[in-house]
Amino acid sequence: MNRTFNYIFNPPSLDPAPGATIELDVSDIEYAGICEVLQTPSTPYGAWSILDSLLSATGIGTPFIFKQPLGQAREVKVALSGLFGRFVARAYLERHFDLSIFAHLGNRVVDLNRSKRAEIVRLARGDLPDWIACKSDLTSLTIAEAKGCHDPSGTAKSLARAWVQAGRIDVRVKGRKMTVKRIAVATRWGVASPSPTDAYLSVHDPVDIGEAIDAQDGTC
- The pLDDT value recorded for residue 70 is 82
- The pLDDT value recorded for residue 107 is 63
At 34, phi and psi to the nearest 5?
-60, -45
CA 68 to CA 149: how far, in whole Å?
15
54 assigned to some structural domain: yes
96 assigned to some structural domain: yes
Give the H/E segment covering residue 31: helix 26-38
Find the mean pLDDT for residues 188-197.
87
Neighbours of 89 (CB within 10 A): 28
SS3 188: strand
Of residues 183 and 207, which shows the higher confidence score? 183
Residue range(s) defining the domain that contains residue 58: 2-204
171 assigned to some structural domain: yes
Q: Write down the pTM of the prediction.
A: 0.88
Find the mean pLDDT for residues 148-173.
92
156 assigned to some structural domain: yes
217 assigned to some structural domain: no
107 assigned to some structural domain: yes
Would you say residue 167 has pLDDT above 60? yes
- The pLDDT value recorded for residue 139 is 87
Of residues 172 and 19, which shows the higher confidence score? 19
Reported as a single tens digit per residue, the pLDDT across 12-57 is 999 999 999 999 999 999 999 988 888 766 566 666 788 888 899 8
The amino acid that residue 169 corresponds to is: I
161 assigned to some structural domain: yes
The count of domains in the chain is 1
219 assigned to some structural domain: no
Torsion 105-110-115-117 (CA) sign: positive
Reported as a single tens digit per residue, the pLDDT across 58-106 is 889 999 999 988 888 889 888 988 999 999 999 999 999 999 989 888 6
* Alpha-helical segments (H) within the chain: 26-38, 74-97, 156-166
Reported as a single tens digit per residue, the pLDDT across 102-155 is 988 866 666 666 666 778 888 999 999 999 999 988 888 899 999 999 888 889
